[in-house]
Amino acid sequence: MARTSRKNIMETVNTSKAYRAAAYVRLSVVKPNESSDSIENQKKLIRDYVEKRDDIEIQAFYSDENSNGTSFERKGFQKMLSDIYLGKIDCVVVKDLSRFGRNAIETGFYIQQVFPEKGIRFIAINDRFDTVDGTTDLTFDGGTGIRIPITNILNEEFVADIRRKQQASIDTQIREGKYVAPRAPYGYIKSSADCHQLIPDPEAMVVVKEIFSLAHQGISISEIVRRLNLAHIPTPIDYAISKGLEGSYEHGDGSWNSSSVKYILTNRTYTGDLQQGEKGILVENTHGALVSRDVFLQIQQSCFRNIDTSKSASKTPAPENPLKGKVFCATCGGKMQRRKGGNSGLYFFSCITNNRKGSGCDTGMYIREADIMTQVKDAFVQENSSATTPTSADLAAFICEAVREIVVWSYVNI
């Protein structure tokens, strides 16, 4: 299994020899289990090589662990470049070209342009490249200069071939009805006997079934959200974290919202079917269902048909909202949502804390967007001492740069 940690290490060593070498090592995410490419083995190989040389001494080790070779945006590599530009390093030693990088164009750019311009000697031990002999100089009469671009292309093709094989394997698993995503959807867990098999989660499936039941009864999504929060049901993210499930999670505010409920209500996985991959390959009856297909289809038609129709019927997109994420309720401190008045067609902001949490805002706040912009305009004029009327672009820039939050001077919603 690929490692999830990423280490970027620089070990400093004193030097007094002619060449101050940067020993660069990298552990690829493509081959994490091959001991020959481990960080320590690479370091040992480089140390053994340098010990036999009289003109090179290692100035520092730079390492990138669990780092893809097709990108050069690696912390250890960038630190090495920085020290090269600062004049601390004039030689780079790697195990082989594949450890340096697997992108043919960028690898060639550094080895054949950047390093020669900076007077940097480059050594790839296993590939027997040493630029002190001119092997990267394309004008070199020996003709060995062409070996580096060819090797780089082969390294890049190696990565592309692995990706093709991995994708082919994943596609085969999808067609066989195996679950291929890294985490099971809320309401399911992966079988301990087979990581590609979903089984119902005894705790979370109760919540999922209740969500579908409420939607089938005609309860609105906002009301479902309100009930979940009133009942203090942990969100899918909080539930996963509480169970110690692996993964990188974006922490929310601990409250259910319409997006999380919509995701459940529109996810066909809960019918016992799997639809996966870029082509949306469908395989039925792969695992236990939490809702029948008939009920699922009825919910799609009743809850989401009107939403899709209204979106397709709307020919003019909503104007850009420079106040997004910056308007807060003066009563409860919650974020306010921008909405469009049905009759007037004007935009306003309202507090939706009660709709989402069922409580928390005693008054429920409301304010017209035009009133907020008037306040912003006045603040802009005062700060800039401007006699001219600010444009919309001026106000938008002012909001982004100067106003981090707008605690609303709200009206009570009537």
Domain locations in the chain as residue ranges: 8-158, 188-313, 327-412
pTM: 0.50
pLDDT category at 385 given cuts 50, 70, 90 is low
Please tell me the distance from the alpha carbon of residue 332 to that of residue 361, in angstroms, as a whole number.
5
Nearest Cα residue to 261 out of 284, 292, 227, 232: 227
341: tokens are 């008045």
Backbone angles phi, psi at 35, to 5 degrees: -65, -30
- β-pair type (19-26, 56-64): parallel
At residue 380, does pLDDT exceed 90? no
**What's the CATH class of domain 8-158?**
alpha beta
Topology classification of domain 188-313: Hect, E3 ligase catalytic domain fold (3.90.1750)
Please tell me the distance from the alpha carbon of residue 173 to that of residue 196, in angstroms, as a whole number.
9
How far apart, in Å, are the Cα atoms of 30 and each of 96, 160, 358? Answer: 16, 11, 48
Q: Which pLDDT score is estimated for 268?
A: 94
Q: In 10 A of CB 216, how many CB atoms?
A: 18
Q: What is the pLDDT of residues 54-99, one digit of tens each?
A: 889 999 999 988 777 677 888 899 999 999 989 999 999 999 888 8
Give me the residue label for tokens 């195996």.
178
pLDDT category at 259 given cuts 50, 70, 90 is confident
Q: What is the pLDDT of residues 140-165, one digit of tens each?
A: 444 444 455 555 555 555 556 666 76
Q: Which amino acid is at 364?
A: G
Over residues 332-352, mean pLDDT? 76
